[in-house]
Each structure stands twice: as C-alpha cells, then as structure tokens.
Amino acid sequence: MAEFDPPASEQGTRSGGKQGHGAPQRQSVGTQNPPKSAGEPQGEPRPQHENDSAHAASTGVVPFADKPQAWQKPMPFHRQAYAAIDLGTNNCRLLIARPSGEHFVVIDAFSRVVRLGEGLAQSGRLSDAAMDRALAALHICSDKLKKRNVHLARSVATEACRRAVNGEEFIERVYRETGIRLNIITAQEEARLAVLGCHILLETGDGPAMIFDIGGGSTEMVLVDTADTVPRILDWQSVPWGVVSLTESVGEVPDSVEGRAAAYAEMRRLVDEGFAAFSERVAGERQLAIERQAIRLLGTSGTVTTLASLHLNLPQYDRRAVDGLIVPTASMRDISQRLAHLSPAERIAVPCIGRERADLVVAGCAILESIFDIWPADRLGIADRGIREGILRSLMAAGGDAERSREALRNLKKASRP
C-alpha cells in the first residue's frame, strides 16, 4: 500500500486574491483537446513532472503513491484512486473515486460542518477553535487517503483562507499535522472548478446559461457559453457574501417579525450591491435569453439542495432525489420568504434544516433571491456536486491522457522491434 507522504520540500503559495473579483474574460473550463464524449467536461493537462515540488506548491496537485519498484507493474488507470478535498468557509468535504469510462465511481466520501470562517468578519483571523475543528476533519480525510491508497489528489481552500491574515499559517499547520497540502485558490479558479463539476446538469438549450455557487464565505456567478461540449466562461463575479459571512455581517437579529424582516432586507441589499456591476455587464445576454425564452439557471450549494428538499417535502435529505432536479424558481422564492420570517426555533423544527443550518439558511435565501433578480429564469437546476467533482474530472482527464500516451509509446516500441 502506498503511503500518504507528500514531499517535505513542497512550499505553499498564496494564490488567492481579495474578494469581489469578476471580469468579462472568455475562457474554457477544461482542456483545449477534442472532447471525448458529448456532455462530458475535460480536465486540465497533467504536468509532465507530477512530483515536481514547485508545481505541487502552485496547484495543490500531489501524488501520493510511491514510485513503483522495478518489479512492480504500474496500476492500470481504471483502478487508480483519485481524491479531492474542498475546505470551505463552512464545510470540509472529501471525495475519492476511480475512473469508469467517461465518468467516475465514488469509493469514499466525507463531509463535515467545521465553520472555519466563524468570527472572521469581525476579527480578520481564523479563530483557534475554528482551526481545531477543521484540523479534526482533515485528520479524518488524511486517514481515508491512506486507507484508499490514493494515486493523485488535489486539496483546495477557499474564501476563509483567502481573507484571513493567518490563512497561510493555518495552511502550513495543516501540512505539518496531517500531510495534506492545501492550495488557496483564487475566486476565479473556484468558479471554474464549480462549473466543471456541475455543468452537465444544465438543461439543454441555446445561448448563455448562468451557474452559481453559494458558499460559506463567498458566492460566485458564472455566465457560460454551452455551444461546445466544454463550457466557455463569458463573464463571472465573486462577492464576499456567503451564508457565514453574510450572517455575521448583519449580526444578531431581534427575535421579532419586524426584526427578521429588517435583517433579511439588509442581506438582500448587501448582495444586490455586491453583484450590481455584474448585473449590468450581463444585461444584454439576459435580455436576449428572456426574448428567446431560453434563460437557463443552475445552482450548486447547500442552500439550493436544502430548499429543493423542502420543495419535495422530504422528511430528510436524499441526494438521489435532489441532484439533477429542476424546480420552479417561484417555489424557491416562496420557500425563501417563508424561512426568512420564521423564528430560529421554528426553522430548527423544519425537516432538512435542523439546528445545524437554522442560523445560516436565511442568508442563503437572501443570496438566492438576489440571483433570481439578476438572472430571472422560470426554472432552477439543482446540483449536489461542484468543486470536488470538478477537481476529480480534471485529475482523471489528465491521468487518462497520460495513460494513453504511455500506451502509444509502448505500441511504438513494439512496432520498432526487429
């Protein structure tokens, strides 16, 4: 069994910028190689030297398997395990999978609410308690990586670590204590990975579509062109309002109907203000999509999956019922409005919310309603997938390319023999 022991020489780099990013850059979320099959995203090319420490530091792509001895045969591509870790402002998530044709089969997964960004809005720092919670979850991830003999992994950290003055210090501590090399990715890379992970759930149609990801510390909106198999990013925006950061910025809410209404209105104002420039930039595409009755919207986040569960009246969350679901935006607005005006105790009693989400779901509802105003689709696609899946597709596409290259070289050597 290969050991989980990344090179000690790797040094992390802070690649994240400040929040509020967005630019009308046109780029593909995948490779420039011909697509393998319709509807499937491609990944970014694997570096030629995957053990190179500088590359590992800049991308967070880390090989875990030891180099095979001379007597060992390399593991076939389809049996190799790949892993993705997404450490967000609110959650720590791990996914381990093996390639299966143009898709992958999940062999292990882990998710835990760690609230890494708790108190960040006030202090500008990751608190000791929050870091300890995240480290406890990452120790579990480390054990799973060892157990599953992971071949290649990428581990990323997002908005909380981008904003915190001690974000880099925490990244180094994680590496020392768990062996996991987290890479602080930019908001743009976060948006790209989210699109890569979930865009296959977009409804078919012509013209641009909008994909969004409501996180704990930030929200990304991405306008994509779906004319090709791999979506092209036409424009995007990241604002520093996620369910944790927006909740903390508004502060304690008076336990009254009036107080809750005022707090919700303030949340809506902050998010609208954050996305104002983006809304103006996409006004032309929005109007054309409305006129053609081809306005498509896809969301990935705990907010949309939770609200979709309420739309279905599920007694408890069921990913199989939610992932890929199409729901009327009018229903999601109605649910958002009702949740926003419930007391904390009433929200806790709602199925699929409970105590864990009760204090954050209102902020998610405010963000969601603002997104509906910017991109007024009649229907919303729900994705219970995102950054982790985007990472895995990138790694596996690169691994498959490498395997095909090795096979071509072997065939060439056979053909050249006398």
Domain ranges within the chain, ordered by starting residue: 190-383
- Where are any strands of DSSP class E within 172-261? 182-184, 208-214, 219-225, 232-239
Mean per-residue pLDDT of the chain: 82
- Name the CATH code of domain 190-383 (choices 3.10.20.30, 3.30.420.150, 1.20.1370.20, 1.20.120.1200): 3.30.420.150
Distances (CA, A) of 139 to 55, 134, 184, 229, 383: 24, 9, 18, 38, 27
Strands 81-87 and 91-100: antiparallel
Tell me what pLDDT residue 5 has: 34
Tell me what pLDDT residue 346 has: 95
Tens digit of pLDDT for each residue in 52-86?
A: 333 343 445 554 433 333 333 445 555 789 999 99
- Where are any strands of DSSP class E within 88-175? 91-100, 103-113, 150-157
The helix/strand/coil state of 289 is: helix
Which residue stretches of the chain have pLDDT < 50? 1-19, 24-26, 31-59, 63-74, 402-406, 409, 412
Burial profile 16-27: b = 16 or more Cβ within 10 angstroms, e = fewer: beebebbeeeee
Do residues 221 and 236 lie in contact, with contact meaning Cβ atoms separated by under 8 Å? yes
Cα angle 81-109-213, degrees, rounded to a multiple of 5: 105
Q: Half-sphere exposure of 289 toward its Cβ, with a 13 Å CA cutoff?
A: 23
